[in-house]
Structure 1
Amino acid sequence: PSLVPSIHRELKIACFSTNSPTPAFKKQLHSNKQEIAVLVQTSSYMRQIYILLYSISAGLIIRNKKKIGIEWVSLTSFLSFATSVPNNLGLVRNELQHVDLRTGRCFAFRGERGNDEPAIEMIKVSHLKQYLVVVFRDKPLELWDVRTGTLLREMAKNFPTVTALEWSPSHNLKSLKKKQLAAREAMARQTTLADAEQSSVESSVISLLQDAESKSEMSQGISAREHFVFTDTDGQVYHITVEGNTVKDGARIPPDGSMGSIACIAWKGDTLVLGDVDGNLNFWDLKARLSRAVPTHRGWVKKIRFAPGKGNQKLLVMYTDGAEVWDTKEVQMVSSIRVGRNVNYRILDIDWCTSDKVVLASDDGCVRVLEMAMKSASYRMDEQDLTDPVWCPYLLLPRAALTLKAFLLLQPWSDTFTMDITHVDYKEKDEIKGLIQEQLNSLSKYVYSQTRPHSLFFIRLFGDESDLQFWTVAAHYIQSFAQSCQPNRSVPEGQTPAEGPQSSHLDICHDILCENSFFQRFQLERVRLQEVKRSSYEHTKKCADQLLLLGQTDRAVQLLLETSADNSSYYCDSLKACLVTTITSSGPSQSTIKLVATNMIANGKLAEGVQLLCLIDKAADACRYLQTYGEWNRAAWLAKVRLSPAESSDVLKRWAEHLCSPQVNQKSKAILVLLSLGCFHKVGEMLHSMRYFDRTALFIEACLKYGSSLTTASPHKLIGAAFVDYAKLLRSIGLKQGAVLWASRAGEAGKELLDELSQKEKMVL
């Protein structure tokens, strides 16, 4: 997991087979993630259900977004849109991203469009995944071709405002395929060949037909005709047909007087259902040309979805206060769920999981799969007859899971490490205690009470990647800087304390966070490997550029001289080789080269200007230019490979400040950078300000244990505040012994909490 590429999106996919009874899927999301959408997609080929939880961390691209949505465009890719907070003019920045789950590739579907325009209200992909409709708040809709990514039509300014839209499930794909197969068969039969070749012709015709049947309309280049309906603010229904590049307006149906403003539409077969903001459902039988309005008295109809499966006319309806299942054939309600009556959680989104099971996303961070009656989950974890205990702390309540983690990570109140929570003063219900003890028992074969395991072992068990990365880097540099503070140890000139000959290096997967000397060696080895594998001029040029930045001028000149005379860059490469070879450290030449480099950077040739600055040993200036032009990662890389530890530290500190800025807001990444620089007090302050009380207290404890100083005028203030807040956290989850211990370590800051804890103990006695 390299630190250099900024990771702005996280995809988590849970998959389970439908051959067995469908389990109740209940996923507790991480507290610092934002749940966006839950999608369910079934595949007839693999007979599996994919539930996609798409969550976005604070990053550059989807930063400060107000509204977010997501739509599938194939079995392995989807479109997601996000809108920023409106500016003074009410305009936003819209982003429509196409994500391929197989490769992770993500690109802007609308290209350069999206800046300073009305917000996207919804996106709708047609049933055959051919076309896409993008609906805006105060702007006419756009119609796109999903396959080619081209804009088919942007509606006129007088186009009506869309309140609800739905694609029709009917299309002419089958008839188009039949016509194409018939044409191929006719062409094959018209071919006249000799009798000896007749049998081979028949076999080729058969294989041709089979191949045509197996290929989809995408590979055949078929553009099937599809159509959609939408409603305006007056409730009038519009019909539009799309076929290839042709878009035709269809019929217009006047509004129903019994309906309010239409909020959503669902269409399956000959049945069209409309829901309005007043809680009315209007069932249309398109074949019989009949409609029936039914008031539900449930308020705003947020969403309606037909169940999958041929002939299955069940309809799922979502309201503000719950959901219902309707039978559209009989036009009657089948089941209902209401917040406050049946459940104590609020429903955020709904969909069908299978033809008879419903999936709900709720505000408690869970995804629930229910039977159609919506009374209970279809499968309970505690009903399994398991032969071995299962380690899965996320099956516990959040409070109990936090208690389990705190109990396992550190037990300073006891000299011996124990795996029995009954030996600890933990005030909790026996049922919760039993569940926690079951989790502890599942680890009994790996952990023994006589030994105190490393904390990283438990962090890996909990699957907390952020915690694992932090403590891996922190443990390395705390020990490294602590060793440098030993009185009998001297650090060679030109090395940071963490780069001494006796210290082990941080794993290279941490990239920029590694020590300078180790990072330099790795980059040289990497370039040498690329040299061996180069097979084109572009590849050779990249190797030469990298060698120049690394200060390997002799080898770079050799690569530049390999340029063929037929190459258009032959003259430039030859001149560059001469420049690199004859460069001197005299004042006039340095001034000239620096002036040229500055002019090149000012005129958009940043990479070339940086190369020239590195040639005259002005890498520090090059880093400042890179940071000025927003190339923070490249500046950090260059600082690690070319600058002295002191100069490199200045560059990385500026990078950390940039990462902490509100525009970037990547404080976790900044903390890792500061750890590599030994700025432990700043790390503690940032962790405390981010309310990572457990991590802050344990980090300060580790610094004090290994003798790594928290260099500041008043370290006791930070220590006291961190220990008191951690003690309060332990008290809130029921670990009283731990709360007393950490409060006592806080000194004067913890006296009030200690008195409060002792008073409560006396009251209990």
Structure 2
Amino acid sequence: MSDTATDEGSTPTVVKVSPRLIPGILNPGNKDALDWGPQGLVAYGSQSNIVVLDSRSVTTVQCLQGGGRHDVTRIRWSRHLHYHDKARPYTLRLAAADSAGVVTVWNVATGTIKAELAQPGHKTVIDMHWMAYNDASYPLLLVLYEHSYLVLWDTERELLVWKKDFLREAGGEKFTAFSVDPFSEASIALVTLEHLWLVDDLNPARAPQAPLRRLDVNLPHAPGGGTNSQAQTPTENPRRSRLLSGVQAMFQGANSSQANAGTTVSGSHSHHGSGASGSGAGGDQPSSEMDLMPGGYGNLTDCQAVLHDPAHRYQLVLVFPRHVVVVDFVIQQVIGTAVVERSLAGLFAVRICRLTGRLVCLHDSGVITVRQRKPFTLPQGVDDSKSQLGSSGGSDGSRLCGESDSSGTISLLTPSWLHQSARAAQFDVHYDTLTTSDPYRMVTRNSRIVAFALCPTQQTDSNDDRKILWGESLRAAIVLQDGRTLFYKMLPPAKDSKLGKRRLVLTAALETLSTLPHCMKMCPPVTFKNWKTYRPLLACAVGTGNVQVLNVATGAVERNICVHTTAVRGIEWTGLTSFLSFANATLQVQSTQNSNIKNELNLTEVTSGRVRQIRSDRADEKPIELVAVSKYGQYFIVAFKDQPFELWDLRNLSLLSTVSQNFRSISCLEWSPRSALRRKHSEMGEEAGIASPPKQTEPIFLKPPANDQQDTQAVENGKKTSKGQHQQFVKEHFLAIDAQSKVCFFTVEGSVLKSNMRILVPVSSGSITCTAWKADKLVLGDSDGNLSLWDITTKKSETTPSQRGAVRKVVFAPGRGNMKIIVLFQDAVELWEATADHTMNRLTSLKTGRGEVSHVDWAGSMRPLLAWANGTITIMDMELKPHPASSIADYFFEEMPFLPAILSPNSALHLKAILQHLPCSQQEVDPLAVMSSLRSFVNSEDTALARSMLADLEPEVWEALVKASVAERALIIARLFGDDEAIRFWTMFESLVDPVRRSLPPSFDLLLPQKEYRRTQLYRAMLHESKRGSNYQLLLETEPPNPHFTHDALRACLIACLKTENASQSSVVKLVATNLIASGDTQLGVQLLCVINKALDACRYLQSNAQWDKSVWLAKCSLSRVEQCDVVCKWAEHLSLVATNQRTKAAVALLSVAEVGRCIQLLAANQMLERAMLLADAAEEAGLQIEWDKIKEEYRPAALRLKYARYLHAIGNSEAALSFCMKALDMPEAEDLKKEIEIILEDSTSLIAHHRHLQLTRQRASLRRTPHSQLALIND
């Protein structure tokens, strides 16, 4: 989106420059400070600042400057997994923790701080997690501090909800990482250097009460020689009680059964198990490379991270430098590994795809590998469609009631083929390498990897072009220490590819200031002559000899040009698109010579990147101290240290003259902003053939060669000249000050250089250090901190002491009549103003550390620019606020990112409704028509922003919106808005309509279709059974000294007796089970009910004991479709209660069992009117039958349309509201609403016509007069 007009008669519109931060290089403390939000924004820590990027347009949208000097160590985007409305609008909320332990919660849209959270005595934040416990828990932030201190904060009210100290409970071990279970927010896993710990009762209302459960994992050897730590030898080794029953592992958790072969894990409050040797390798390498540590427990010293697998429940992923271990924490075993190939570097980080469970591994060399689990196949001879998993049991339960528990373990009555096949197959989790990216070239030592992240909504791949377009292909981001951000995307196989392998390619790279700038210079200001092509560019010279050209309006590095071989010493712009720069290269010469410097002076054109050398024939001379270009672009001066300076012709790049030996070393030089140009033109006229100074917007490389330039200019002026005729110049003036503070004025016209050695400028006792010249005012700063103002016209002067020490730099602000000055001191930056009465007034000041600010300039007439010693640049307002940040809506974007969260809540919902109800035909939609018919929002700024977002929306988006159905369009809009909750809802609906083409990812878990869910549980059962013996043997292996010896023996007898069932046995077992449940032993009672095929009764008992997840698991594994649907509906009723407050999850649960009507009623009853109406329309469009008779009358179609029309009218979308109101005329209230909307639309139409008439009148008037309102501060 560009605000710059191009027509000759257009009103000049200057690019807006807002206060902002331009980031630089990162510190090592910023490691892992990176997060990718669902709205497509990537945020990373850069020193004490936060940089926010838009991943779609690959632009910087916000930079947040931290208040302290501490590095940002962790960043987390908030997860708004709730329905969005006016009360809970779309927001951009971000939590950032620094090395001092302070957690800052930001409103990224406005650039303001919402909360600062600090816990006294705990200085380091290990990690953070936004809670999604229910629909109201989105402001809750869980923070783990050092010394095993867990705190829950309410970021909305800045209150500490509860805190828990685990240090003593963990035996003095300090937690190094934690991970929250994505399937149950009540469960978290924590890691120390020695053990894994589990917490199962996390609750927003109170601190965890249950004791920690420790898991001592018997780890595999590290590839190529074992781990760094020695295995711990168990002190005792009795056999512990192990019951292989249908729900034992699910209920006992860490106390559940263990395998007598393979890798083992034991609970801390249980006896240690005997670790029999076996193969635990399930990765890319042979098992011999991942041998287990027999008889011992390896520690977690080398563990880099612990992650819950978001696609597979009850599984943890432990990341080590050369391998990844998968642990099932229910059966407490290592179930698989993935080993890094010998040809690849070690692992820097591993991320897991939420939708597919793939491992995305970033290696230290910058290579990314994607590893995918091998698909599960049933053993030979087992037909899934004909097996018990494909059938449905009766109301009394079926043989499936005990086939797998929540962990997938096989029940007591598991068929013999499952035992035999599982033990024969030795199931393990194996990963295959899906694709590998090309290594990214690391240029310098600052190119080290700092952080790595995956897009949370783009993690799958498909050959469906619609899905690829809509971002379901995997995307990754890497942040390097030099500030570069690399974006990768996985593409489908190329059409001509014979291997058919997917490709992981680098799609974009975004640069920042790569190293500390040595010098910088802002381009010439905007004027009446150059406003059409003006761009606010800043040239920054870095230590490598490159020059980075930044656009200060967007904060983007537009060019990175290699200009010199050594560090650049100075930059001077010759126009809007070209600049001079110089560097000093040290020569290896004999010591008898007087100098060992070779100067490099180059002219660079920004647009093309061409570099032209000047004075290339000079070597072994004094170093260049400064270069100054005249205001009208005719001359430039090259000043040396202890050597006369040179005057050059900028147009021909030829030397005109050299100053006399009397004036050698120059410390300051300023060209006069006035010249004799206008006077010459007025006296001689255009026919005189005066060679006009070139426009500053013309790149010098576009001009003819020096020998032909005179002829070309003469033809353009109507007068031919020969090649030998001398070119005419305009007289200009400049002021020079030497090291002894001797001031001299010079007049130059062509090669004639005249000097006036009279000291006309008042000089204080201190030596002059800097100067600035604008109009008839000259300001000089000296080493004593004095600012001297001299009026050249009236010869009046005034000296003002600043009391700040030596003045390092003074710069006048651009703009006609703007006499503000920015002054740089050693420990402060101040703004002054030269008044008409020849005095200097201090406006404001900013106190800084000594030497913290290295350079000052002006990015605009009211925008001071400061370059800091840490490599960052800040553009401030006139108040010099220490932490400049603007609202995203105030920034200038060449392509406006689609971020509805920057709008007001009402406007965001209005924009969403516009996209959902596009005024289009069946073939196409005209975006311009949509924008022109867009009614003004309540906030006029929102109207402009919304139109900009729609104007910059890709054509593919409009095409997809037109072709999509109601549900598909809602899903597309949810992805645009970054609405995770809506994405989940409409993904479930699409799977309900077309389960074959829109199958659900495994992360839906309990919401998966029954047949698919049973298949996943069968895989887990076989995975576990492959490591265990028969149930009878496990029970009878219990040693007599074990306290569970008698208990296990009796249960073994019970299992043996129930091999042949009869009515009396079942009644007795049911009676015993009922008594057990009544006495509080729910787990054992439910087990017995499952043994006698009373799964439906077991589900009811589980629900009455508030164990809802387990009841749904048991229903899906054991009951018929009708019965499990009833269980899920009761679960949904529980979720929709006020105490539970998980209504959005309840709606998805009802959709999972095709209860569309009940889902609509639930949504409408809870004021989710938009979702309810769209669901009703989508169901009607898809042909789904809804029994409206069973739904309350107030939620039936006519009443629902009327309520939705009122909702649309309230948010401002009166056109769509009228359409839905017309469909609800059966309701008595609809007629009154219809009349109200029609009146508003008529008034709005006439008002819009009046505004358009005024706008045309103003545009016509602007062609006849100067637009002073916009150009008051533009230079002449």
Q: What is the TM-score with the length of structure 1 in the denominator?
A: 0.50
The answer to whether structure 1 residue 662 and structure 2 residue 1125 are counterparts is: no
Is this contact kept in 2: 1:33–1:55, CA < 8 A? Answer: no
Q: 1:428 aligns with which of 915, 920, 936?
A: 936
- For 1:37 and 1:447, the matched residues in 2 are separated by 26
Structure 1 unaligned regions, length at least 5: 1-9, 84-92, 118-310, 313-324, 328-354, 358-368, 481-497, 535-539, 541-554
Is this contact kept in 1: 2:142–2:151, CA < 8 A? Answer: yes
Is this contact kept in 1: 2:142–2:153, CA < 8 A? Answer: yes
Q: 1:707 aligns with which of 1183, 1198, 1201?
A: 1183
Deviation at 1:616, TM superposition (A): 0.8
Deviation at 1:35, TM superposition (A): 11
Is this contact kept in 1: 2:93–2:105, CA < 8 A? Answer: no
Report the equivalent of 2:179: 103
- For 1:35 and 1:397, the matched residues in 2 are separated by 10
Q: 1:730 aligns with which of 1171, 1188, 1208?
A: 1208
- For 2:148 and 2:922, the matched residues in 1 are separated by 53
Q: Partner letter of residue 427 of structure 1? A: R
The answer to whether structure 1 residue 446 and structure 2 residue 446 are counterparts is: no
TM-superposition CA deviations, 1:374-429 (whole Å, max 9, x none): 59943464676656543333233333332332222342664345361543632116
Report the equivalent of 2:88: 32
Deviation at 1:739, TM superposition (A): 1.5
Is this contact kept in 1: 2:1010–2:1116, CA < 8 A? Answer: yes
Report the equivalent of 2:973: 458
Deviation at 1:16, TM superposition (A): 3.2
The answer to whether structure 1 residue 682 and structure 2 residue 1171 are counterparts is: no
- For 2:922 and 2:203, the matched residues in 1 are separated by 63
Residues 573, 748 of structure 1: alpha-carbon distance in 2 compared, 3 angstrom cutoff: same
Q: Secondary structure at the match of 1:16?
A: strand
Is this contact kept in 2: 1:70–1:80, CA < 8 A? Answer: yes
- For 2:90 and 2:902, the matched residues in 1 are separated by 20
- For 1:380 and 1:82, the matched residues in 2 are separated by 24
Deviation at 1:581, TM superposition (A): 4.1
Is this contact kept in 2: 1:60–1:664, CA < 8 A? Answer: yes
- For 2:1239 and 2:1083, the matched residues in 1 are separated by 67
Q: Partner letter of residue 579 of structure 1? A: L
Is this contact kept in 2: 1:70–1:78, CA < 8 A? Answer: yes
1:382-401 equivalences in 2 (<5 Å) = 388-401=895-908
Residues 13, 570 of structure 1: alpha-carbon distance in 2 compared, 3 angstrom cutoff: farther
Aligned residues between the structures: 466
Residues 39, 715 of structure 1: alpha-carbon distance in 2 compared, 3 angstrom cutoff: closer
1:502-513 equivalences in 2 (<5 Å) = 505-513=999-1007
Report the equivalent of 2:1218: 740
Q: Partner letter of residue 519 of structure 1? A: Y
Q: Partner letter of residue 745 of structure 1? A: K
Residues 69, 686 of structure 1: alpha-carbon distance in 2 compared, 3 angstrom cutoff: closer
- For 2:206 and 2:945, the matched residues in 1 are separated by 53
The answer to whether structure 1 residue 472 and structure 2 residue 987 are counterparts is: yes
Deviation at 1:704, TM superposition (A): 1.7
Is this contact kept in 1: 2:1205–2:1218, CA < 8 A? Answer: yes
1:550-699 equivalences in 2 (<5 Å) = 557=1031, 560=1034, 563=1037, 568=1042, 573=1048, 575-583=1050-1058, 584-699=1060-1175
Once structures 1 and 2 are overlaid, which stretch shifts more, 407-416 or 29-38? 29-38
1:275-286 equivalences in 2 (<5 Å) = none
- For 2:1156 and 2:1001, the matched residues in 1 are separated by 20
Larger RCO, structures 1/2 (Cα 8 Å, 6+ apart): 2
- For 2:1010 and 2:895, the matched residues in 1 are separated by 47
Q: Secondary structure at the match of 1:79?
A: strand
Q: 1:524 aligns with which of 990, 1007, 1018?
A: 1018
TM-superposition CA deviations, 1:591-632 (whole Å, max 9, x none): 111122222223333222211111111111111111122211
1:193-232 equivalences in 2 (<5 Å) = none
Q: Secondary structure at the match of 1:634?
A: helix
Deviation at 1:579, TM superposition (A): 3.0
The answer to whether structure 1 residue 418 and structure 2 residue 925 are counterparts is: yes
Q: Partner letter of residue 760 of structure 1? A: I
Report the equivalent of 1:403: 910
Deviation at 1:33, TM superposition (A): 8.2
Deviation at 1:580, TM superposition (A): 2.8
Residues 401, 528 of structure 1: alpha-carbon distance in 2 compared, 3 angstrom cutoff: same
Larger Rg: 2
Report the equivalent of 2:98: 42
The answer to whether structure 1 residue 752 and structure 2 residue 752 are counterparts is: no
Report the equivalent of 1:271: none
Report the equivalent of 1:437: 947
Residues 370, 645 of structure 1: alpha-carbon distance in 2 compared, 3 angstrom cutoff: farther
Residues 643, 371 of structure 1: alpha-carbon distance in 2 compared, 3 angstrom cutoff: farther
Over the aligned positions, Cα root-mean-square deviation in angstroms equals 5.4
Residues 64, 607 of structure 1: alpha-carbon distance in 2 compared, 3 angstrom cutoff: same
Report the equivalent of 1:315: none
1:83-232 equivalences in 2 (<5 Å) = 95-97=162-164, 102-104=178-180, 105=188
Q: Secondary structure at the match of 1:32?
A: coil
- For 1:72 and 1:720, the matched residues in 2 are separated by 51
Once structures 1 and 2 are overlaid, which stretch shifts more, 17-26 or 719-728? 17-26
- For 2:154 and 2:880, the matched residues in 1 are separated by 34
1:13-28 equivalences in 2 (<5 Å) = 15-18=44-47, 25=64
Deviation at 1:556, TM superposition (A): 5.8
Residues 388, 510 of structure 1: alpha-carbon distance in 2 compared, 3 angstrom cutoff: same
Structure 2 unaligned regions, length at least 5: 1-37, 52-61, 66-76, 108-114, 116-127, 166-174, 181-187, 191-197, 208-826, 829-844, 848-869, 1247-1276
Q: Secondary structure at the match of 2:1188?
A: coil
Is this contact kept in 2: 1:34–1:55, CA < 8 A? Answer: no
Between Structure 1 and Structure 2, the one with more helix by share is 1
- For 1:405 and 1:115, the matched residues in 2 are separated by 35
Is this contact kept in 2: 1:37–1:69, CA < 8 A? Answer: no
Is this contact kept in 1: 2:162–2:206, CA < 8 A? Answer: no
- For 2:1041 and 2:90, the matched residues in 1 are separated by 52
Is this contact kept in 2: 1:421–1:437, CA < 8 A? Answer: no
Deviation at 1:526, TM superposition (A): 1.5
- For 1:733 and 1:75, the matched residues in 2 are separated by 49
TM-superposition CA deviations, 1:235-265 (whole Å, max 9, x none): xxxxxxxxxxxxxxxxxxxxxxxxxxxxxxx
Q: What is the TM-score with the length of structure 2 in the denominator?
A: 0.31
Once structures 1 and 2 are overlaid, which stretch shifts more, 407-416 or 593-602? 407-416
Report the equivalent of 2:484: none
- For 2:50 and 2:1092, the matched residues in 1 are separated by 70
TM-superposition CA deviations, 1:558-581 (whole Å, max 9, x none): 674684768945665565444334
Residues 372, 669 of structure 1: alpha-carbon distance in 2 compared, 3 angstrom cutoff: farther
- For 2:990 and 2:203, the matched residues in 1 are separated by 46
Q: Secondary structure at the match of 1:446?
A: helix
TM-superposition CA deviations, 1:63-116 (whole Å, max 9, x none): 899xx9998844997623679xxxxxxxxx97325798753448999x999999
Q: Secondary structure at the match of 1:626?
A: helix
Report the equivalent of 2:365: none
1:487-506 equivalences in 2 (<5 Å) = 505-506=999-1000
Q: Secondary structure at the match of 2:1128?
A: helix
Q: Secondary structure at the match of 2:1093?
A: coil
Q: Partner letter of residue 1011 of structure 2? A: S
Q: Secondary structure at the match of 1:103?
A: strand
Deviation at 1:635, TM superposition (A): 0.9
Deviation at 1:638, TM superposition (A): 0.5
Identity %: 24
Q: Secondary structure at the match of 1:664?
A: coil
- For 1:103 and 1:467, the matched residues in 2 are separated by 25
